[in-house]
Amino acid sequence: MTPATKQRAFSTRDLLLAILSGLLLTASFPPGKFSFLAWIALIPLFISLRDKRPRSAFKLGFIGGFFHYLTLLYWVIVVLGRYGNLHMAISLLALLLLSLFLALYPGLFSALASQMVGTRFSFFFMAALWVSLEFLRAHLFTGFPWCLLGYTQYERLAVIQIADLTGVYGISFLIVLVNGLIFQSFFMKNRSLHTFLKWEWLFVALLVTGTIFYGFQKLAQKKAGKQSDPHLNAAVIQADIDQSVKWKPSYQRKTLETYFRLSSLAAPLKPALIVWPETALPFFYQDAPAFSSQMRHFADRIGATLVFGSPAYERKNRRIEYYNRAYMITPGISSAGYYDKRHLVPFGEYVPLKKYLPFLNQLVQAAGNFVSGGRQGPLMKKDLSLGVLICFEAIFPELARDLARDGAQVLVNITNDAWFGATSAPYQHLSMAVFRSVETGLPMIRAANTGFSAFIGPSGKILSRSALFEEAVLDQSVPFSPSPPATLYTRMGDLFAGALLLISLLKLFYLFRMRVKRKGS
């Protein structure tokens, strides 16, 4: 936008365009098959931002973002209402507050991007700004990187291979770049910029072509490695235990019998590893000698290592601390290895500021108020190293990266997505887990109580997966590297996102200085 351009408030048309962008963004995420919409979803918002002051642009982005998150995260009502036992009004209020908070990010993006629209290579700086805000959302206030824009492409394997260089942020950057270029080419009236479009098209064409070429090269390499690498025969057990009954003491024995029965079905396949979901045992394994003896005997009998979830506790300084724990039982070894969840779910596994929010305490009645387990290494199974991620830890790249750097050869994600009910959340959760394999170059074994359980290859390809809300036994021969692959992303982390954040800050500083100069002249 040039200094001489007249700036105006937004109209009803602008408002509808912003809302349309929000809805298109939601439609591009699973469970729908409309991931292609992500590549054009922001164009209506960009159109609405033309000739707008930052305040008006913020409002448009905020409103579009609010409709996006409201329709994307509607399942929060199910989690809090049906399973958290909160009144529907409180559940709806929580969804509204969360959506309003997250809408601040597209609002801020729009306010800042409105000062870039129409300038040379504006789409590059807008894409950098978008990624910068995604990066901040992933880390501020414990972080909530749920459904970042790049996750829409989880099934486009050739596109997402660059995640082993840039993380998911590289795909987000590319998507916003394409949106911005299309907008600038077909919806901008500034003729003086058209002479630069050929260079901008060339720039984006080279990036897109390079990304796809790199993707096919990596897919070919991983396919060749799959044939030569050793394999792990593994099985995943999905017992489909109803969340409303699983914590009842009278149901404990039936739960264990269900897992034994389904695991026995996998025994003829000779799995070396059997994985049960998060809190598969709805009691304290450490305090149930009869059950724990049965578990060890079962592992010895079928000759397979068992990985399963169970709550745990430790007494420290005259108080009891609870953990969301994954145990590993290895045949012939009496002691069990374990991993305690590091990144807990706010208002699900602990209540921030619970002194001031006592009405939310009922959300954690099931197994107490958990504490973080802190950084731990992978679980060792003879010569195989298993990196465990519990539940939504799979949406945090840094956790999988830590495990890969510590020597993990296979990622194991145990989760209990029963909380989500029959909503889009299980689909969204699985799509994000795919990227942890691409980023680290490690396969993933995923066990979910009600689905989706899955095997994911190092390329991010979903090798097999269960259906929702039914019992399932999945088995797969999983290739793994004898020495863990050290991808650039594993070694360097979010260097790409950090660089874009720096570029965005420098660009905004430049725009601020130019604005001050114009006012002073």
Give the per-residue pLDDT at 8: 57
Q: What is the mean pLDDT of the chain?
A: 89
Q: What are the pLDDT digits (tens) for 278-326? A: 999 988 999 988 888 999 999 999 999 999 999 999 988 888 899 999 9
Q: Are 166 and 211 in contact (CB under 8 A)?
A: no
With H, G, I as helix, E, B as strand and everything else as coil, classify residue 488: helix
| 355 vs 241, higher pLDDT | 241
Q: What are the pLDDT digits (tens) for 462-521? A: 999 999 999 999 999 998 888 777 899 999 999 999 999 999 999 989 888 887 887 776
| DSSP state for residue 350 in the 8-state scheme | B
Q: pLDDT band at residue 222, thresholds of 50, 70 and 90? A: confident
- Torsion angle (degrees, nearest 10) of CA 355, 359, 361, 362: 170
Question: Which of 96-110, 179-193, 218-232, 283-297 has the largest mean confidence?
Answer: 96-110
Placement of tokens 């390809």 in the chain = 461
Q: What are the pLDDT digits (tens) for 359-388? A: 555 554 443 578 888 888 899 988 899 999
> How many residues does the structure list for the chain?
521
Give the per-residue pLDDT at 364: 47
Residue partners of 412: CB distance under 8 A and separation at least 6: 275, 307, 326, 386, 387, 388, 389, 444, 445, 446, 447
Active-site annotation holds for 147: no
Spell out a b/e string for 384-415, using b for 16 or more CB atoms within 10 Å of the CB, else e: bbbbbbbbbbbbbbbbbbbbbbeebbbbbbbb
Q: Average pLDDT, stretch 224-253? A: 85
Q: Of 112-126, 138-152, 464-478, where does mean pLDDT reach its minimum?
A: 112-126
How far apart are the C-alpha atoms of 242 and 232, rounded to whole Å? 30
Q: pLDDT band at residue 225, thresholds of 50, 70 and 90? A: confident
C-alpha distances in angstroms, 162 versus 127, 330, 436, 462, 513? Answer: 16, 36, 12, 17, 35
- pLDDT of 407 above 70: yes
- In percent, the amount of the chain with pLDDT more than 70 equals 93
- Torsion angle (degrees, nearest 10) of CA 7, 127, 21, 197: 70
Give the per-residue pLDDT at 190: 62
The pair phi, psi for residue 253, each rounded to 5°, is -65, -40
Q: Are 503 and 128 in contact (CB under 8 A)?
A: yes
How far apart are the C-alpha atoms of 441 and 459, rounded to whole Å? 7
Rounded to two decimals, the pTM is 0.92
Task: Out of 59, 218, 341, 507, pick the active-site residue.
Answer: 341
Q: Are 268 and 251 in contact (CB under 8 A)?
A: no
- pLDDT of 193 above 70: no
Structure tokens at 20: 């349309």
Q: Average pLDDT, stretch 178-193? A: 80
| Residue 317 identity (one-letter amino acid) | N
Give the per-residue pLDDT at 296: 92
Give the per-residue pLDDT at 462: 97
Active-site annotation holds for 189: no
Give the per-residue pLDDT at 2: 43
Strand runs labelled E in 317-397: 319-329, 337-340, 379-381, 384-390
Give the per-residue pLDDT at 14: 95
**CATH topology (fold) of 230-341+373-478:** Nitrilase/N-carbamoyl-D-aminoacid amidohydrolase (3.60.110)
- pLDDT of 424 above 90: yes
The pair phi, psi for residue 350, each rounded to 5°, is -155, 160
Edge-to-edge strand list for the sheet holding 444-448: 379-381, 384-390, 410-415, 444-448, 454-456, 462-465
With H, G, I as helix, E, B as strand and everything else as coil, classify residue 242: coil
- pLDDT of 9 above 80: no
Task: Out of 246, 391, 393, 507, pick the active-site residue.
Answer: 391
- Helix H, strand E, coil C: the string for 61-77 is HHHHHHHHHHHHCCCHH
Q: Of 179-183, 244-248, 264-268, 432-436, where does mean pLDDT reach its minimum?
A: 244-248
Q: Kindly write down the DSSP assignment for every residue of 144-162, as one continuous string.
A: --TT-GGGGGTT-HHHHTT
Residue partners of 336: CB distance under 8 A and separation at least 6: 285, 327, 328, 329
Question: Which of 157-161, 252-256, 283-287, 510-514 has the largest mean confidence?
Answer: 157-161
- In percent, the amount of the chain with pLDDT more than 90 equals 65
Domain boundaries, the chain: 12-223+494-520, 230-341+373-478
Cis peptide before 29 (omega within 30 of 0): no
Structure tokens at 45: 């918002």
Closest residue by Cα to residue 480 from 392, 390, 381, 397: 381
Edge-to-edge strand list for the sheet holding 472-479: 337-340, 319-329, 305-316, 273-275, 231-238, 472-479
Q: pLDDT band at residue 4, thresholds of 50, 70 and 90? A: very low
Give the per-residue pLDDT at 367: 36
Task: Out of 278, 349, 393, 439, pick the active-site residue.
Answer: 278
Strand runs labelled E in 268-383: 273-275, 305-316, 319-329, 337-340, 379-381
Active-site annotation holds for 254: no
Q: pLDDT band at residue 358, thresholds of 50, 70 and 90? A: low
With H, G, I as helix, E, B as strand and everything else as coil, classify residue 258: helix
Q: Average pLDDT, stretch 42-64? A: 95
* 432 sits in which H/E element: helix 425-440
Half-sphere exposure of 280 (CA within 13 A, CB side): 32
How far apart are the C-alpha atoms of 104 and 97, rounded to whole Å? 11
How far apart are the C-alpha atoms of 94 and 389, rounded to whole Å? 27
Q: pLDDT band at residue 242, thresholds of 50, 70 and 90? A: confident
How far apart are the C-alpha atoms of 504 and 491, rounded to whole Å? 24
Question: Which of 200-204, 205-209, 228-232 has the largest mean confidence?
Answer: 205-209
With H, G, I as helix, E, B as strand and everything else as coil, classify residue 229: coil
